């Protein structure tokens, strides 16, 4: 069986090379049959990798401990979900998973475009298969998942495996990697279309229209993956942090930031024919960051708590990135003539300008995060002092909080600026009430004793943006309601359905606002650590915590200790929380199962830190995290909004490009 | 060209502010990565610089007492006494033999005072064959 799997993946490697060459030669020599065989080869690659992956998953699920990978990442006692999740729980398996996802995406692309874009498709296939070949190279010759355990040349099985890392044995974590990978891998497709468009010297935006939905889905996966990762960290790591600017977290954020910039700046190209070079560059940068992110966890370039083993993968990734970056830069420079802008910027207070600044901030954040992540490597270079220095959470917070707040403000301003230029009258109409309301809110908060400047600004901006978004919905829905006599709710749905892209986008912005409210809550966190005997009580904020019982027990997978803590406030008993410490037997590693009382205004979060040295008292770490639920809520709204964007609009909108610059310039004032 | 002047000024303002934040932040929050040997060589500088030291937690060296946890980091046969006095719980992955990163300052008493400990999930390191609880088995590469 292992031989079949190895052979399938090896064949996939050969077929991927064939698909790459056949498409390329077929296109250049105008041999349609070669092009078609190249496309069919893409399907075969998918089938072959699926066979290899299927066998690996089968081995994981049935516990075939002759496989070294199975022995390291699975064990008999694990639930089925985690046995399957072990596919992406380790280095070799996760790379195979990457390959499999890419081949799936490639097959879908070939299938959905089987009658479209005939001139571009061979190049799209070539680019995708080039990436595929690289990953299959790793699967076959560098980090093979089908190594067997053997003693003196004969294959043997071990009794039981190590099991999946217990920290990963958590539902959100089991699906977090696939989500992130779906996002990482997905950006290969817009990238491939962009490159194909460059090679074939397409004058128009065909690649953008074709991949818009694709990009959005990919972005959705990435957002969901990041949110799941944050939720996992919050619930599993035991200190209530959802984001610590760890290199691996940053690696997932980087392509998200540049991808977000890309999603916004393509609108400039679609509607105004501007920023064409920029979009090419952005989609390429996003793809490179995806590859970079994949490599960061695997090459030991920077120290991280989450990283996989360090291996010999680094030089492969570096070479791959160097080749693709060089080729892309050459292509863009060579084809600059085809990427001329059709309009130019007219006013600082305009939609164009807000997109420009949105991109500037997102890319600046992206660069800042990249710089901070790589600083231990950069600082070792002699021009920066030659000493290895790391930058931690404080440094990132210092930079990212102002950047985030500025971005938040733009979220409110940008969509309401008119294209080309905005009159003072329209600014006043749109922003007067939200502006006043947020100033009032800040005033009230100051009066209530809040002195944290960032928190004040953040709450003010959140209200401002939320109100501008709500007003947009209300204005539109009110107009429809008045015309068609619908009630406001139905009119809102109708409004959204008429232009899903715009109103879905507003919903995403609303999600971002909710998340910022949650982030801001962190300014008011409280915590305390106490050692408690049964019957002891202590006070945190307005909660009174009493240790009712200390229990322990045993399951086949882990043994556990648990504290039963009664929570009361002002004399009223609110219930009990049962934080738990688990010790996983197979991997001999502990984990924490925290007790959380989630409420909209604040979470009460208890972690069982273990027993004190004399074994009598339980160490309880108690935290209050104000507003943290809003982050998850915002995440859900963001996902919902993105899904709305994906629904086709009821009214097919035709965006007429505005006139060419020469004519537009003659207007002193844009006629209303 | 005046409007491009405005754009340039705004962009320069944003980037300038960012650079200022970044560079001033580096000096306030930087942490030096040092090996145990290098900490020894730092001399007096070690006392007023934030340092991050990596090493393996020596088996049996973890001692918990009121308000602090003491243990020994080992790297290339050099030992470093560490006292952790931070309030955050130690990570679950922190245990005998784990790879740990200690952030803090060197004390004049020769003990490294850590304010933060990170421990690498040991199981995310690929298990060595000897760690498989079974007959000694060595992975051989069947595939490539």
Q: Does B140 fall in a domain?
A: no
Alpha-carbon distance of A295 to A12, in angstroms, equals 22
B133 within some domain: no
Residues in chain B: 144
Position B74 in a domain: yes
Nearest neighbour of B139 by CB, restricted to A147, A391, A527:
A147
**Which residues from B are below 8 Å from A3, CB to CB?**
142
Band of pLDDT at residue B17, cut at 50, 70 and 90 = confident
Q: Which residues of B touch A587 (CB under 8 A)?
A: 123
DSSP per position, A51-68:
HHHHHHHHHHHHT-TTBH
More confident residue, A438 or A343: A438
- Closest CA–CA distance from residue A534 to any residue of chain B (Å): 19
A-B Cβ pairs (cutoff 8 Å, strict): 180
- Are A226 and A253 spatial neighbours (Cβ–Cβ below 8 Å)? yes
Give how many domains chain B has, as a whole number: 2
Among the partner residues A9, A146, A156, nearest to B137 by beta-carbon distance:
A156
Is there a single domain that holds both residue B21 and residue B48? no
Query: Of A130-144, A270-284, A655-669, which one has max mean pLDDT?
Result: A130-144
Same domain, yes or no, for B110 and B43?
Answer: yes
Residue B7: domain span: 1-30
CA distance A315 to A633: 41
Query: A237: distance to nearest CA of chain B, Å?
Result: 7
Q: Is residue B69 part of a domain?
A: yes
Nearest of A409, A506, A499, A410 to residue A462 by alpha carbon: A409
- Would you call B137 and A388 a contact, using CB atoms and an 8 Å cutoff? no
H/E stretch holding A81: helix A80-85
Q: How close, in Å, is residue B132 to chain A by CA atoms?
A: 7
Q: Which residues of A touch B1 (CB under 8 A)?
A: none
CATH assignment of the domain containing B70 = 2.40.50.140
Q: Which residues of B touch A398 (CB under 8 A)?
A: 21, 25, 29
Helix axis angle, A393-413 relative to A500-521, nearest 10°? Answer: 140
Mark whether B51 and B35 lie in a shared domain.
yes
- Comparing alpha-carbon positions, the chain B residue that sits nearest to A347 is B3
Residues B61 and B83 in one domain: yes
Distance (Å, rounded) from C-alpha A457 to C-alpha A442?
A: 8
Query: Does the CB of B128 have a partner CB in chain A at under 8 Å?
Result: no
Measured in degrees and rounded to the nearest 5, phi and psi for residue B38 equal -70, -35
Q: Which of B14, B28, B52 sits opposite A364 (nearest CB)?
A: B14
Q: Which residues of B touch A613 (CB under 8 A)?
A: 64-65
pLDDT score for A445? 93
Query: By three-state DSSP, how is residue A556 classified?
Result: coil
What is the C-alpha to C-alpha distance for residues A577 and A579, in angstroms, rounded to an integer? 6
Residue B120 confidence class, pLDDT cut points 50, 70, 90: low
Same domain, B25 and B74: no
pLDDT at A670: 40
Q: Are residues B82 and B120 in the same domain?
A: yes
**Over 70: is that where the pLDDT of A304 sits?**
no
Beta bridge partners of A582: A560, A591
Pick from A91, A159, A167: which is nearest to B126 by CB? A91
Nearest to B88 by CA among B54, B53, B115, B61: B115
User: pLDDT at position A663, please?
Assistant: 36
Residues of B whose CB is below 8 A from A232: none
Q: Is residue B43 in a domain?
A: yes
- Indicate the residue of B6, B32, B64 with minimum beta-carbon distance to A348: B6
Residue A444 has a pLDDT of 94
Higher confidence at residue A489 or residue A53? Answer: A53
Percent of chain A with pLDDT over 70: 94
Strand partners, A589: A584
Q: Using one digit for the tens of pLDDT, what is the confidence trace for A485-517?
A: 888 888 988 888 888 888 999 999 999 999 999
pLDDT at residue B1 in the model:
54
Per-residue pLDDT, A460: 94
B135 pLDDT above the threshold of 50: no
A contacts of B86 (beta carbons < 8 Å): none
| Inter-chain touch B118–A305, beta carbons under 8 Å | yes
Please give the mean pLDDT across all residues of chain A: 86
Does residue A408 have a pLDDT over 90? Answer: yes
Are B73 and B48 found together in one domain?
yes
Q: Is residue B138 part of a domain?
A: no
Please report the residues numbered 69 through 108 in chain B whose beta carbons come closer than 8 angstroms to any beta carbon of chain A. Answer: 87-89, 91-93, 95, 101, 103
pLDDT surpassing 80 at residue B123? no
pLDDT at B126 over 50: no
For residue B14, is it within any domain? yes
Percent of chain B with pLDDT over 70: 77
Same domain for B26 and B37, yes or no, is no
Say if B5 is an interface residue toward chain A (CB within 8 Å). Answer: no
Instruction: Tell whether B66 and B55 lie within a shared domain.
Output: yes
Domain co-membership, B68 together with B19: no
Q: ipTM of this predicted complex?
A: 0.72
Averaged pLDDT for residues A183-187: 92
Cα distance between residue A92 and residue A139, in whole Å: 7
Q: Give B62's contacts in chain A (Cβ within 8 Å).
A: none
Please tell me the predicted confidence (pLDDT) of residue A306.
55
**A662 burial class (0-12, 13-18, 19+ CB within 10 angstroms)?**
exposed
pLDDT of residue A338: 78
Q: What secondary structure letter does DSSP report for B136?
A: -
- A68, A142, A307: best to mutate for the B interface, most B CBs within 10 A: A68
Q: Which residues does chain A have within 8 Å of residue B26's beta carbon, measured at their own beta carbons?
A: 375, 389, 391, 395
Binning pLDDT at 50, 70 and 90, where does residue A99 land?
Answer: very high
Touching check for B3 and chain A: CB below 8 Å?
Answer: yes
| pLDDT: which is higher, A651 or A85 | A85
Residue A601 CB neighbour total at 10 angstroms: 9
Contact check, Cβ <8 Å, B91/A237: yes
Instruction: Determine contact: B125 vs chain A, CB below 8 A.
Output: yes
pLDDT digits (tens, 9 = 90+) for B78-106: 888 888 877 666 777 777 777 788 888 88
Quick: pLDDT tens for A351-382.
888 888 899 999 999 999 998 888 888 887 76
The mean pLDDT value for A639-647 works out to: 93
Q: Are strands B78-84 and B112-119 parallel, antiparallel or unpaired?
A: parallel
Q: In degrees, to the nearest 5, what angle opens at C-alpha A395 toward C-alphas A394 and A396?
A: 95
Nearest alpha carbon to residue A256 among A177, A173, A183, A176: A183
**Contacts for A115 with CB less than 8 Å, ≥ 6 apart:** none
In this prediction, residue A671 carries a pLDDT of: 40
Same-domain pairing of B13 and B79: no
Mean pLDDT of A99-128: 92
What are B70-80's pLDDT values in tens digits?
Answer: 888 888 788 88
pLDDT value for A303: 62
Q: Decide if A149 and B139 are in contact by the 8 Å CB cutoff.
A: yes
A23 neighbors A125 (Cβ within 8 angstroms) = yes
Q: Do A146 and B143 lie within an 8 Å CB cutoff?
A: yes
DSSP A380-397: TSGGGTSS-EE--HHHHH
Residues B25 and B35 reside in one and the same domain: no
The Cα B90–Cα B116 span in angstroms is: 8
Using CB atoms within 10 Å of the CB of residue A419, give its burial: 0 to 12 exposed, 13 to 18 middle, 19+ buried: middle
Q: Using CA atoms, how far apart are residues A216 and A440, in angstroms rounded to an integer?
A: 37
> Do β-strands B51-57 and B31-34 pair in parallel, antiparallel, or remain unpaired?
parallel
Strand partners, B103: B52, B116
Q: Is this prediction's pTM over 0.80?
A: yes
Closest CA to B64 of B117, B101, B11: B117
Q: What mean pLDDT value characterizes chain B?
A: 72
Residues A53-77 as b or e (16 or more Cβ within 10 Å = b): bebbbebbbebbbbbbbbbbbbbeb
**Domains defined along chain A, listed by start:** 1-164 (no CATH), 167-413 (no CATH), 524-626 (2.60.98)
Contact B7 A144 (CB under 8 A): no
Neighbouring CB atoms inside 10 A of A454's CB total 15
The answer to whether the beta carbons of residues B18 and A387 sit under 8 Å apart is no
Between chains, do A151 and B136 touch, taking CB under 8 Å as contact?
yes
CA separation for the pair A257, A287 (Å, rounded)? 12
Token duo for residue A110: 């070939």
pLDDT at B121 over 70: no
Q: What is the pLDDT of residue B87?
A: 67
> Angle between the A188-199 and A276-299 helix axes, to the nearest 10 degrees?
140
**Closest CB to A364 among B18, B29, B144:** B18
Q: Which chain B residue has its CA at the smallest distance from A66's CA?
A: B139
Higher-confidence position of A365 and B21: A365
Are the C-beta atoms of B134 and B104 separated by less than 8 Å?
Answer: no
In Å, how far from its chain's centre is CA A56? Answer: 27
- Lowest mean pLDDT of A431-435, A460-464, A634-638, name the range: A431-435
Q: Which of A564, A526, A562, A520 is nearest to A543 (CA)?
A: A526
Residue A44: pLDDT band by 50, 70, 90 thresholds? very high
From chain B, pick out residues whose CB is under 8 angstroms from the CB of A6. 142-143
Using one digit for the tens of pLDDT, what is the confidence trace for A224-269? 999 998 998 898 877 778 888 888 888 899 999 999 999 999 888 8
Give chain A positions within 8 Å (CB) of B19.
Answer: none
Question: Which pLDDT band holds residue A218 (cuts at 50, 70, 90)?
Answer: very high
CA distance A240 to chain B (A): 10
Query: Which candidate from A239, A307, A345 shows the least CB-CB separation from B7?
Result: A345
Query: A-chain residues within 8 Å CB-CB of B7?
Result: 345, 348, 353, 356
Give the pLDDT confidence of A516-525 residue by residue, as tens digits: 999 999 989 9
Asked whether residue B132 is assigned to any structural domain, the reply reads no
Which range has highest mean pLDDT (A483-497, A518-532, A621-635, B61-75)?
A621-635
- Identify the helix (H) or strand (E) that includes residue A485: none
């Amino acid at each position: 069986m292992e031989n079949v799997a190895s052979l399938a993946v090896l064949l996939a490697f050969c077929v991927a090379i064939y698909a790459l060459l056949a498409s390329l030669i077929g296109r250049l020599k105008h041999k349609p049959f070669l092009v078609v065989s190249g496309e069919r080869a893409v399907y075969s690659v998918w089938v072959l990798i699926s066979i290899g992956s299927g066998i690996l998953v089968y081995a994981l699920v049935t516990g075939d401990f002759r496989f070294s990978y199975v022995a390291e990442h699975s064990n008999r006692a694990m639930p089925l979900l985690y046995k399957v999740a072990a596919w992406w729980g380790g280095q070799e398996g996760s790379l195979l998973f990457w390959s499999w996802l890419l081949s799936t995406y490639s097959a879908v692309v070939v299938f959905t475009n089987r009658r479209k874009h005939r001139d571009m498709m061979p190049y799209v296939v070539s680019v995708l298969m080039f990436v595929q070949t690289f990953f299959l190279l790793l699967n076959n010759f560098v980090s093979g998942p089908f190594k067997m355990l053997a003693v003196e040349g004969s294959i043997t099985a071990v009794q039981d495996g190590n099991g999946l890392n217990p920290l990963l044995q958590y539902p959100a974590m089991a699906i977090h990697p696939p989500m992130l990978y779906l996002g990482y891998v997905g950006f290969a497709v817009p990238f491939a279309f962009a490159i194909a468009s460059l090679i074939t010297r397409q004058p128009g935006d065909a690649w953008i229209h074709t991949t818009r939905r694709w990009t959005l889905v990919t972005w959705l996966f990435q957002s969901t993956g990041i949110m799941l990762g944050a939720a996992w960290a919050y619930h599993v790591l035991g200190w209530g942090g959802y984001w610590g600017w760890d290199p691996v977290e940053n690696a997932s954020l980087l392509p998200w930031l540049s991808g977000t910039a890309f999603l916004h700046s393509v609108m400039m190209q679609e509607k105004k024919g501007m920023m064409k070079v920029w979009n090419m560059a952005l989609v390429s940068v996003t793809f490179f960051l995806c590859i970079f992110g994949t490599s960061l966890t695997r090459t030991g370039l920077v120290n991280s708590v989450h990283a996989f083993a360090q291996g010999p993968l680094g030089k492969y990734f570096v070479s791959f990135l160097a080749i693709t970056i060089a080729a892309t830069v050459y292509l863009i420079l060579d084809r600059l003539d085809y990427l001329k802008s059709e309009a130019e910027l007219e006013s600082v207070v305009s939609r164009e300008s807000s997109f420009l600044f949105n991109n500037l901030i997102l890319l600046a954040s992206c660069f800042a995060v990249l710089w901070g992540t790589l600083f231990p490597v950069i600082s070792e270079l002699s021009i920066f002092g030659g000493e290895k220095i790391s930058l931690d959470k404080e440094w990132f917070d210092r930079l990212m909080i102002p950047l985030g707040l500025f971005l938040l403000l733009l979220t409110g301003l940008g969509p309401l600026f008119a294209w080309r230029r905005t009159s003072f009258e329209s600014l006043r109409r749109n922003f007067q009430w939200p502006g006043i309301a947020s100033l009032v809110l800040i005033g009230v908060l100051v009066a209530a004793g809040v002195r944290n400047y960032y928190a004040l600004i953040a709450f003010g901006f959140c209200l401002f943006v939320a109100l501008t978004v709500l007003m947009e919905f209300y204005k539109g829905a009110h107009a429809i309601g008045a015309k068609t006599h619908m009630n406001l709710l139905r009119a809102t749905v109708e409004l959204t359905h008429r232009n899903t892209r715009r109103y879905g986008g507003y919903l995403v912005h609303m999600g971002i606002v909710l998340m910022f409210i949650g982030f801001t809550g962190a300014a008011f966190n409280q915590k305390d650590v106490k050692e408690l005997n049964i019957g002891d009580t202590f006070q945190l904020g307005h909660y009174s915590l009493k240790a009712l019982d200390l229990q322990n027990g045993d399951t086949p997978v882990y043994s556990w200790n648990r504290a039963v803590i009664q929570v009361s406030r002002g004399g009223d008993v609110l219930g009990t929380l049962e934080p738990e410490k688990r010790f996983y037997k197979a991997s001999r590693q502990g984990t924490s199962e925290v007790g959380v009382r989630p409420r909209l205004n604040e979470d009460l979060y208890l972690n069982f830190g273990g027993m004190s040295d004399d074994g009598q008292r339980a160490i309880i770490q108690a935290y209050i995290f104000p507003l943290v639920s809003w982050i998850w809520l915002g995440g859900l709204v963001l996902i919902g909004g993105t899904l709305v964007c994906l629904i086709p609009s009821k009214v097919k909108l035709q965006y007429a490009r505005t006139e060419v610059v020469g004519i537009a310039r003659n207007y002193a004032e844009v006629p209303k | 060209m005046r409007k491009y002047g405005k754009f340039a000024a705004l962009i320069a303002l944003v980037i300038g502010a960012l650079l200022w934040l970044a560079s001033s932040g580096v000096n306030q929050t930087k942490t030096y990565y040092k090996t145990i040997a290098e900490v020894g060589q730092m001399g007096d500088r070690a006392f007023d610089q934030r340092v991050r030291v990596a090493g393996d937690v020596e088996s049996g060296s973890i001692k918990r007492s009121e308000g602090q946890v003491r243990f020994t980091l080992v790297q290339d046969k050099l030992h470093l006494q560490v006292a952790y006095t931070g309030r955050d719980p130690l990570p679950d992955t922190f245990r005998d033999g784990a790879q740990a990163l200690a952030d803090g300052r060197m004390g004049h008493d020769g003990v490294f005072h850590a304010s933060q400990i990170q421990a690498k999930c040991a199981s995310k390191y690929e298990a060595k064959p000897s760690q498989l609880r079974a007959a000694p088995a060595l992975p051989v590469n069947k595939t490539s």
